[in-house]
Amino acid sequence: MSFYITTPIYYVNAEPHLGHAYTTIAADILARHMRQRGEDVFFLTGTDEHGEPVAQAAEREGISPRELADRNSERFRDLVARVNATNDFFIRTSDPQHERVVQEVVQRIYDNGHVYAGTYEGYYCPRCADFKTEAELVDGNKCPIHLIVLEREKEDNWFFKLSAFQKPLEELYAERPDWVTPQSRYNEALSFIKQGLNDVSLSRARLRWGVPVPWDTSQVIYVWIDALLNYYTALSYAREGEDLTDRYWPARHLIGKDILKFHAVIWPAMLMAAEIEVPKSIFVHGYLLMDEHKMSKSLGNVIDPFEVMDRFGTDTLRFYVFREVNFGGDGSISAAGFETRYNAELANEYGNLASRTLAMIGRYRDGVVPDTPADEVLSADLAGVDARVREKLDVVDITGALEEIWTAVRRLNRYVQDEQPWKLAKDESAADRLDGVLYALAEGLRFVSVLLHPYMPESTGKLLEALGQPDVSYSSAAFGSAPGGARLGELAPMFPRIEPAAAA
């Protein structure tokens, strides 16, 4: 089966921050997990480069939009590599191949009779690139997200007949109750639709930085129409000489809740208008907060993900954000929180389990994992963890799946405490028992590491190598399935404790 997963494409009006890394890592965890299961995965991310958000930021910096886009797109590409994301393609909406397919699809929407010339009169936020109703404004006439004063605009442009899709959208929501999750976001989108849909501008008359409207090149296509189409256009040119659309479309989208309306209302209507199948699903996550405020470049309270990774490593970042904040909801993160979880969970629990296990097999069995059957009690306790992780990740419960795995990590540490292998080692008559305990520990460590692999690919990869068991396929995630007899390799300390003073 194919599994096509996407992140939003990020605006290049500023440098990436931790919020961007968050969605990209989430998509990567799902992509890696599905590859473990042998699915045919395609993972897309990229940058959104047209429209006022970028044009105005470039103007403020005194450079051209293209220069700004080139510079910041590269930073997003660096971030993707640095968080260890295994994306299959990185799209830029300034790619000529993207622009061509955008024009084709928009032309089809026009030919199908869903576009008309009209006049937009109302408020527009250039940072959101979004038309705002009066009810949405705060403090008189400020954007509710960016808190900047909005001007009333009047502009002749092309309109997309979103209102004509009210009924088809309601039907879509009725037929597919889990096409937007979590449920609260489904309810939010549906109630927005039920309030009655207004037509939306499909083009901008005053802006030059964008894709020209094919039948009226004096205007550019509205940036959201251009951007949403990235999910579709990418498949047509991501592989040279090959069109992947039939193989992977429709997509599963991961987005933040800030862009729900575009993805859950406008996007499916556009696709219906162009006679293209709507997405398989949309999962909407919450905000990473700093001191209870959304982390965002406009509020200036962003954490630099590169700095975090310099200090704690990539795997720690990948672990921490999903452990600390329940994926789907909002949650606060902090430097102190990073440090606490790093020491308490990665250093003391997982790292310690690994180093103790390897050290004991080294000391008591010359570095060779004993070949004995798995401990039955432990087997019973770990049975079903792999199935539950899989079920949770099938519904994008990234935090819930991690909690399942972590319960198993803790169970293994308790096993060490209960069995006290260092005592068994002193008793000749307990040699068989010690074999059993050491095998169970090596096997338990292997088992949790295969499950953890999508979250922390680098450290689990090294550990599995050291265990002589590099297979990360999901079918190998069965406790007791790998035979003993492997000779252990070297492993540098995985998560050395950070002393608070040194970390400050």
Active site residues: 17, 20, 125, 128, 143, 146, 294, 297
**Spatial distance between the Cα atoms of 142 and 134, rounded to a whole number of angstroms:** 10
Give whichever of 227 and 378 is closer to ligand ME8, judged by the CB atom.
227
Host H or E run for residue 152 = strand 152-160
Question: How far apart are CB 159 and ligand ME8 at their closest, in Å?
Answer: 20
Burial letters 245-284, b for 16+ CB under 10 A, else e: beebbbbbbbbbbbbbbbbbbbbbbbbbbbebebbebbbb
Question: How far apart are CB 24 and ligand ME8 at their closest, in Å?
Answer: 8
Supply the DSSP string of 269-324, one letter for each residue.
Answer: HHHHHTT-PPPSEEEEE--EEETTEE--TTTT----HHHHHHHH-HHHHHHHHHHH
Question: How far apart are CB 223 and ligand ME8 at their closest, in Å?
Answer: 8
Give whichever of 129 and 213 is closer to ligand ME8, judged by the CB atom.
129
CA-closest candidate to residue 84, choices 318, 433, 368, 370: 318
Looking at residue 48, its amino acid is D
Find how far residue 416's CA is from the centre of its chain.
Answer: 35
Segment contacting ligand ME8 by CB under 6 A, of 178-186, 224-232, 378-386, 472-480 = 224-232
182 binds ligand ME8 (CB under 6 A): no
Supply the DSSP string of 83-97, one letter for each residue.
Answer: TT---SEEEETT-HH
Contact letters (x/-) for ligand ME8, 307-346, by CB under 6 A? ----------------------------------------
**Spatial distance between the Cα atoms of 351 and 175, rounded to a whole number of angstroms:** 47
386 binds ligand ME8 (CB under 6 A): no
Give whichever of 230 and 316 is closer to ligand ME8, judged by the CB atom.
230
| Residue of 3, 10, 42, 474 interacting with ligand ME8 (CB under 6 A) | 10
288 binds ligand ME8 (CB under 6 A): yes
23 binds ligand ME8 (CB under 6 A): yes
**Spatial distance between the Cα atoms of 109 and 343, rounded to a whole number of angstroms:** 55
Give whichever of 19 and 351 is closer to ligand ME8, judged by the CB atom.
19
228 binds ligand ME8 (CB under 6 A): yes
Give whichever of 19 and 436 is closer to ligand ME8, judged by the CB atom.
19
Question: How far apart are CB 226 and ligand ME8 at their closest, in Å?
Answer: 9
CA-closest candidate to residue 369, choices 440, 448, 296: 440
8 binds ligand ME8 (CB under 6 A): yes
Host H or E run for residue 72 = helix 65-82
| Residue of 45, 157, 296, 355 interacting with ligand ME8 (CB under 6 A) | 296
Please give the C-alpha separations between residue 89 and each of 26, 77, 234, 305, in angstroms, as whole numbers: 16, 10, 8, 21
Q: Which residue has the tokens 């000489």?
A: 241
233 binds ligand ME8 (CB under 6 A): no
43 binds ligand ME8 (CB under 6 A): no
Q: Is 285 exposed, middle or buried (0-12, 13-18, 19+ CB in 10 A)?
A: buried
Segment contacting ligand ME8 by CB under 6 A, of 7-15, 170-178, 418-426, 486-494 = 7-15
Give whichever of 48 and 443 is closer to ligand ME8, judged by the CB atom.
48
Question: How far apart are CB 230 and ligand ME8 at their closest, in Å?
Answer: 6
Looking at residue 96, its amino acid is P
Burial letters 355-380, b for 16+ CB under 10 A, else e: bbbbebbeebbebbbbebebbeebbe
Give whichever of 125 and 228 is closer to ligand ME8, judged by the CB atom.
228
What is the helix, strand, coil percentage profile of the chain, to 5? 50, 15, 30
258 binds ligand ME8 (CB under 6 A): yes
Question: How far apart are CB 80 and ligand ME8 at their closest, in Å?
Answer: 13
58 binds ligand ME8 (CB under 6 A): no
CA-closest candidate to residue 443, choices 375, 390, 387, 377: 375
Are the C-beta atoms of 235 and 244 separated by less than 8 Å?
A: yes
Segment contacting ligand ME8 by CB under 6 A, of 17-25, 383-391, 401-409, 482-490 = 17-25
Give whichever of 382 and 398 is closer to ligand ME8, judged by the CB atom.
398
226 binds ligand ME8 (CB under 6 A): no
| Residue of 32, 294, 365, 453 interacting with ligand ME8 (CB under 6 A) | 294
19 binds ligand ME8 (CB under 6 A): yes
Q: Which residues are near ligand ME8 by CB under 6 A?
A: 8-11, 19-20, 22-23, 48, 227-228, 230, 255-256, 258-259, 287-288, 294-296
